[in-house]
Structure 1
Amino acid sequence: MKPLSLQTMALAALIAMPLTISLPASAQTASAAPGTPMAEMSDGEIRKVSKDTGKLTIKHGEIKNLDMPPMTMVFTAKDPAMLDKVAVGDKVRFVVIDEGGKMVVTEIQPAK
């Protein structure tokens, strides 16, 4: 077997280098659904809770992971049990992901 040339070893090291770089702790935010990229928590206020449809209307600030400006919109709750934890007027922090064009709240908690 022929030894690897210096150029081949250098190229292999350059290719492998990005695999060893990790995100800084500040870039790691609230977790999204398994298998999806990390998503930040966003601030919002509950405007409507529709238990029969499994949806929440939230007036929210910027949603950075979706590059979405502040607005009021309807979201689907990933887990219907989330709807029992909030009421109209509650200030919340929440995680939302885009599942094939459907905006889904994966996590919600009272704002501090």
Structure 2
Amino acid sequence: MKSLLKLSVLAAAVTLSASGFAAEPAMMGGHGGHDHAAMSTPMSTPMSTTWVDGLVKKVDKTGGKVTLAHGPLENLGMPAMTMVFRVQDKAWLGRMKEGDKIRFVADNVNNVLTIVRFEAAR
């Protein structure tokens, strides 16, 4: 009878610890907590649609980049500053020139800060 009780307790302990272990990767972005980038930008999170005001400082059509002075990028945890962005569509660079005021949405696309939407400021 004692060995049956011990076996039951052991089986319950193994079951509980296995279910806790199996839940950990799901709670940690599916990577067991080792991939911090995946945790901060999970694949299932929809792209941000936070529009930000910006001022075009430089357009690099060859490089597919634009330098913008911009307001805070809350979705990326960045304060207002001037920085270089890639653009999702290089054709957009033909619609931008130094001194233009724009509104844009930026996101981290394959670890590159990228303008994913833009329009002329009204």
Query: What interval of TM-score do these two structures reach, taking the shorter chain for normalisation?
Result: 0.5 to 0.7
Residue correspondence of structure 1 range 1-112 to structure 2 within 5 A = 36-112=46-122
SS of the residue corresponding to residue 95 of structure 1 reads: strand
Q: Tell me the TM-score normalised to structure 2 length.
A: 0.60
State percent identity of aligned pairs. Answer: 37
Could you tell me which runs of 5 or more consecutive residues in structure 2 were left unpaired when the two chains were aligned. Answer: 1-44
For CA contacts below 8 A with separation 6 or more, give which structure has more relative contact order. Answer: 1
Partner of 2:24: none
Cα distance between partner residues in 1 of 2:61 and 2:52? 22
Tell me how many residue pairs correspond in the alignment: 78
- State the Cα distance separating 1:38 from its structure 2 match: 2.8
Which structure: larger Rg? 2
Q: Which has the higher helix share?
A: 2
Task: Verify the 8 A CA contact 1:39 1:97 in the aligned structure 2.
Answer: no
Q: How much is the aligned-residue C-alpha RMSD, in angstroms?
A: 1.3
* Structure 1 gaps, min length 5: 1-34
The amino acid that maps onto 2:109 is: E
